[in-house]
C-alpha cells in the first residue's frame, strides 16, 4: 500500500471540532416523512405509538454537520461545485434514541489520487452523552479537478464499507416501487441538508441539471426503508450513488438475500436508470434467520 503524500499526511493532522446534535421526536417524524413514511405507518409518524422509532437510516442525520466540517480546501484546485457524493456507509451500533443529545467526531480516513479527481473518505463516530457509540458513518466524496497530488491511488479493504456487492444472476427476492413526491426534496432538506441544489432551479442549472435533484441520502433512506420492511433490522448499509433522481420520479428497489446480506440496486422507473449501486445491508442476526 502506497504511503500518503505529504499533502494528505498534513491534512490528516487538522483538528476537527466535534459537532453537537440535539433532537426531539418531531425531528425523527420529519425525517421518516422525508423518506416516504406515511400516516399509515404510525410506528414512524406518531410519537404516541408503542413501536415509535426512527427508521435505521436516520443515522446519517446527526453526523451531517460533522462530516461537512472536514476541510477540503487543501486539495489542489479545490472547487466545492465540483464535489460529488460518491458512497455512503452507515453502521448502527446501538438502538437509536428517538430524542436526545448526540456528539459526532469526524476525521479523514483515506484520500486517493484518481488522476483527474480526488476521492476523499471521512469517518464520523456519533456517541450519546454517556459516550456510547450509536452510529459510524463513512462518506466518500469525489472532487473533480483536484487530482495529481500523488500518494495512494487505490483504497484499502474496509469490509462492508467498501464491498462491491455484485448483483446475483437471478430474479430478485423482493421488488418495491415507490413514487416520490414532487416536494420530496423540499421536505427532506428540513432534516439538515440545506444545499440549494435541491430546491433552487437556477442553482441546479449551474450544476448542469435542468431542475433541482433529490438528495442522494433521501434515495438511500427510501431504499433502506424498503430493505427494512422486507427483511427486518440491519446493522449496516452501504450504497454507491450512481445517478440522479428528480423529485416526483419512481424509485424501484430490487433486493436479493444472500446469507446475512441483502444486496440491492435502485433504479428510476421512468428513465430505467440505476441510481444506487454496489449496495447492501447486513442483517442483524435475528433478522437474518427470521426472513426468507
The helix (run of H) or strand (run of E) holding residue 273 is: strand 273-283
Higher confidence at residue 290 or residue 239? 239
DSSP 123-184: EEEEEETT--EEEEEEEEEEEET---S-S--S----GGGT---PPPSS--SEEEEEEPPTTH
Residue 227 has pLDDT above 80, yes or no: yes
Give mean pLDDT, residues 219-242: 98
Among 15-29, 34-48, 76-90, 168-182, which stretch is predicted with the lowest mean pLDDT?
Answer: 76-90
Residue 161 has pLDDT above 90, yes or no: yes
% of the chain residues with pLDDT over 70: 97
Which pLDDT value is given to residue 104? 98
- What spatial distance separates the first Cα and last Cα of the chain, rounded to whole Å? 40
Residue 43 has pLDDT above 90, yes or no: yes
SS3 at position 99 = coil
Domains annotated for the chain, with CATH where assigned, are: 6-154 (3.10.129.10), 174-287 (3.10.129.10)
Which pLDDT value is given to residue 286? 77
Q: What angle do CA 105, 222, 28 make, to 5 degrees?
A: 55
What distance in Å separates the CA atoms of residue 116 and residue 276, rounded to the nearest whole number?
23
Give mean pLDDT, residues 61-85: 93
Residue 266 has pLDDT above 90, yes or no: yes
Any idea which residues carry the catalytic annotation?
Answer: 193, 198, 213, 216
Give mean pLDDT, residues 219-240: 98
What distance in Å separates the CA atoms of residue 256 and residue 238, rounded to the nearest whole number?
15
Give mean pLDDT, residues 166-180: 98
DSSP 37-71: --TT-HHHH-TTSTT----GGGGGSTTHHHHTTS-
Give mean pLDDT, residues 255-264: 98
Give mean pLDDT, residues 223-251: 98
Which pLDDT value is given to residue 289? 65
Give mean pLDDT, residues 129-157: 95
Which pLDDT value is given to residue 290? 55
Name the average pLDDT for the chain. Answer: 95
Give mean pLDDT, residues 129-141: 97
Residue 292 has pLDDT above 60, yes or no: no
Which of these, 177, 181, 183, lies nearest to 266 by C-alpha position? 177
Give mean pLDDT, residues 244-250: 98
Which pLDDT value is given to residue 80? 84
Residue 287 has pLDDT above 70, yes or no: no
Residue 2 has pLDDT above 90, yes or no: no
Which pLDDT value is given to residue 288? 63
**pLDDT band at 291; cut points 50, 70, 90:** very low
Among 126-135, 189-198, 281-290, which stretch is predicted with the lowest mean pLDDT?
Answer: 281-290
Amino acid at each position: 500500500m502506497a504511503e500518503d503524500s505529504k499533502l494528505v499526511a498534513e491534512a490528516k493532522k487538522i483538528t476537527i471540532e466535534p459537532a453537537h446534535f440535539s433532537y426531539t421526536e418531531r425531528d425523527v417524524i420529519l425525517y421518516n416523512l422525508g423518506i416516504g413514511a406515511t400516516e399509515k405507518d404510525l410506528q414512524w409518524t406518531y410519537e404516541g405509538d408503542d413501536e415509535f422509532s426512527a427508521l435505521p437510516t436516520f443515522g446519517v442525520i446527526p453526523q451531517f454537520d460533522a462530516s461537512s466540517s472536514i476541510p477540503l480546501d487543501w486539495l489542489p484546485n479545490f472547487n466545492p461545485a465540483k464535489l460529488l457524493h460518491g458512497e455512503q456507509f452507515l453502521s448502527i451500533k446501538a438502538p437509536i434514541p428517538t430524542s436526545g443529545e448526540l456528539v459526532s467526531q469526524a476525521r479523514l480516513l483515506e484520500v486517493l489520487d484518481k488522476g483527474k479527481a480526488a476521492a476523499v473518505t471521512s469517518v464520523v463516530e456519533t456517541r450519546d452523552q454517556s459516550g456510547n457509540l450509536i452510529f459510524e458513518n463513512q462518506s466518500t466524496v469525489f472532487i473533480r479537478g483536484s487530482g495529481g497530488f500523488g500518494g495512494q491511488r487505490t483504497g484499502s479493504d474496509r469490509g462492508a464499507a467498501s464491498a462491491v456487492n455484485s448483483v446475483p444472476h437471478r430474479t430478485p427476492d423482493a421488488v418495491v416501487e415507490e413514487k416520490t413526491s414532487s416536494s420530496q426534496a423540499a421536505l427532506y432538506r428540513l432534516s439538515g441538508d440545506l444545499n440549494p441544489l435541491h430546491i433552487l432551479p437556477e442553482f441546479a442549472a449551474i450544476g448542469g441539471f435542468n431542475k433541482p435533484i433529490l438528495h442522494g441520502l433521501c434515495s438511500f433512506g427510501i431504499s433502506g426503508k424498503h430493505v427494512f420492511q422486507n427483511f427486518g433490522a440491519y446493522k449496516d448499509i452501504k450504497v454507491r450513488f450512481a445517478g440522479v433522481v428528480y423529485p416526483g420520479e419512481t424509485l424501484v428497489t430490487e433486493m436479493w438475500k444472500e446469507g446475512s446480506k441483502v444486496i440491492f440496486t435502485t433504479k428510476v422507473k421512468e428513465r430505467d436508470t440505476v441510481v444506487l449501486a454496489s449496495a447492501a445491508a447486513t442483517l442483524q442476526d435475528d433478522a437474518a434467520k427470521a426472513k426468507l
